[in-house]
Amino acid sequence: MKLITWNINGIRTFRDGIKKALDSLDADIICVQETKVTRDLLDERTAIVDGYSSYFSYSRGRSGYSGVATYCKDSATPFAAEEGLTGLLTNHEGAVGCYGDHAEFSGEDLQLLDNEGRAVITQHRIMCQENVKTLTVINVYCPRADPEKPERKQFKLQFYKLLQCRAEAVLKGGSHVIVLGDVNTSHQPIDHCDPSDVDDFGENPGRKWLNEFLHSGKQEDYRNVEEQYKESEESIDGIHTGKFVDVFRFFHPTRTNAFTCWSTLTGARQTNYGTRIDYIFADCQLTKEQFVAADIMPEVEGSDHCPVWGQLSCPLLPSYKPPPLCTRFLPEFAGKQQKLSRFLVRVDQKSIQSEQMDVLPGSQEEGERRENLHPSGPADISGKKRVFPSDSVAPQGKKTKKIKPSSKPQGSLLSFFKPKLTNVVPPTDTSTKQCEETLDKITTMQNSQQVSTTKGKESMVTDIAPEDKALLSGGSSHVFTSITTELQRNSWVFERQILKVNQPASFNFYPVTCV
């Protein structure tokens, strides 16, 4: 099997198409960082790629920021997948588990650490020497320590500790572990273009953590990591012996100028003035027994980082079905909203509300907002299934339409075209008969006077017999007026409905006069 990690500096790096880019990398598991994609911006072309299953983690606080994704070939489909390191974002059965001891972290810290979309974990089955083993791949994008924001330095160190806690817990649970991604710290002087220009290079807190996380801080010891691991799990020459190995340095312990990141402001890539901050870390046993090669790919452009790859001798055993975190199972990509029947049948309001609660929040573009969004709600890390508190919050700037159930049954379309006589006064038999006779006379006179256009309605009224005029002005006149007015109103309503059906654009209404 082969796996690749690459900080792509935006999913738009794949200008020629996602599938073409993934196929060109020729790997079973492709882990990318800094996708800059939030849930509301994720489109189907990016989420669903033929021949691959994908798993995303998104920033909850800022749009176009952070984010990681793991693409697995169908032949490398994982059986479990999880977003984040704390377990707070896990609310499905396909979780990885093994969260470790979080006693050093407060509930608020755990929420903030998983709030920026910096980790995706996939769990696979591999065949190692005729034995089926579990392999857990942790794809991470570690924070950068912004010099202008001192709180980010502490945030970065907390993320490192949480990453180590989770990786060692999964390893202790019986699975092989690979941690790969953009770690944002160059480990040794050999990994930096100008280490003498960095004050107190070895005193950097990030490098001290790497010395603890990795098996040895000495590059000459990488070839004998397995023997050293057996001898001691605590320390060698005062350096803490971690449980993971820098796979690139395992195969290239003395190679210089092997950088993976360059500044774009100075065009440093042309002169190879960079740093090596993208890594593949693997547990000691897996490195010694299964890894056969590892290297960097500086020839691949499109980002300020280059890919790093590693190859193992063990084959992958794909799962018959992707875990629930797979993007193809998201409601917007599963085809649930494209069915015409959803618009033609009466939908239960409770089911609509439950679907709205499952929708993850989108991006919140607030330039002045703090880099770590403080989610509302208390933390709960005691249960097995832990839900991120902000998952049920609607995206800012988008109002969720609430459907209020009507107390009256909804009528059919034909009901709009039926005449409504709610305001008509019920006439007596005598009045009705008289009105009908009068209307007949008016109609006859109108037909006889169509040749003369100047007389109009005035002649029709003046030629009415005196007894008919008395009827119109007498006690039964209100009946005639009510009927005529209602006929006019219903005719106008009918034409308005026809105009609405035939002309959805803007138009004017003209009432029709009935005589």
Residues of the chain with confidence (pLDDT) below 50: 217-219, 226, 229-240, 336-343, 345, 347-348, 350-401, 424, 451-464, 467-480, 493-494, 498-499, 501-507
Output the DSSP codes for 426-463: PPPHHHHHHHHHHHHHHHHHHHHTSS-TTTHHHHHHHT
Q: Which residue, 5, 139, 8, is CA-closest to 78? A: 139
pLDDT at 150: 87
What domains can you pick out in the chain, each with its CATH number? 2-329 (3.60.10.10)
pLDDT at 196: 81
Residues annotated as catalytic are 141, 182, 305
Cβ(313)–Cβ(294) below 8 Å = no
Cβ(361)–Cβ(391) below 8 Å = yes
pLDDT at 120: 97
pLDDT at 201: 87
Output the DSSP codes for 265-280: TTTHHHHT-EE--EEE
- Cross-strand bridge partners of residue 148: none
pLDDT at 132: 95
Cβ(28)–Cβ(54) below 8 Å = no
Query: What region does 18 belong to: left with phi over 0, alpha with psi -120 to 50, or beta?
Result: alpha
pLDDT at 374: 40
Tokens 């199972």 correspond to what residue?
329
Which amino acid makes up residue 277?
I
pLDDT, tens digit, for every residue of 128-173?
Answer: 988 999 999 999 999 998 888 889 999 999 999 999 999 999 999 9
**SS3 category, 57:** strand
Alpha-carbon distance of 417 to 155, in angstroms, equals 66
Tokens 């059986």 correspond to what residue?
79
Is 490 known to sit in a ligand binding site? no
pLDDT at 445: 60
Tokens 């950097």 correspond to what residue?
204
Alpha-carbon distance of 178 to 375, in angstroms, equals 30
Cβ(287)–Cβ(245) below 8 Å = yes
Cβ(361)–Cβ(373) below 8 Å = no
Tokens 């202008």 correspond to what residue?
148
Spatial neighbors of 508 by CB under 8 A, at least 6 apart, are none
The answer, as to whether pTM is greater than 0.85, is no
Is 124 known to sit in a ligand binding site? no
Is 305 known to sit in a ligand binding site? yes
What number of other Cβ atoms are within 10 A of residue 341's Cβ? 7
Tokens 């006149």 correspond to what residue?
477
pLDDT at 149: 87
Is 182 known to sit in a ligand binding site? yes
Is 227 known to sit in a ligand binding site? no
Burial (CB count <10 Å: 0-12, 13-18, 19+), residue 23:
middle
3-state secondary structure string across 141-199:
ECCCCCCCCHHHHHHHHHHHHHHHHHHHHHHHCCCEEEEEEECCCCCCHHHECCHHHCC
Output the DSSP codes for 470-504: HHHHSTTHHHHHHHHHHHHHHHHHHHHHHHHHH--
Local structure of residue 337 (DSSP, 8 states): G
Cβ(165)–Cβ(173) below 8 Å = no
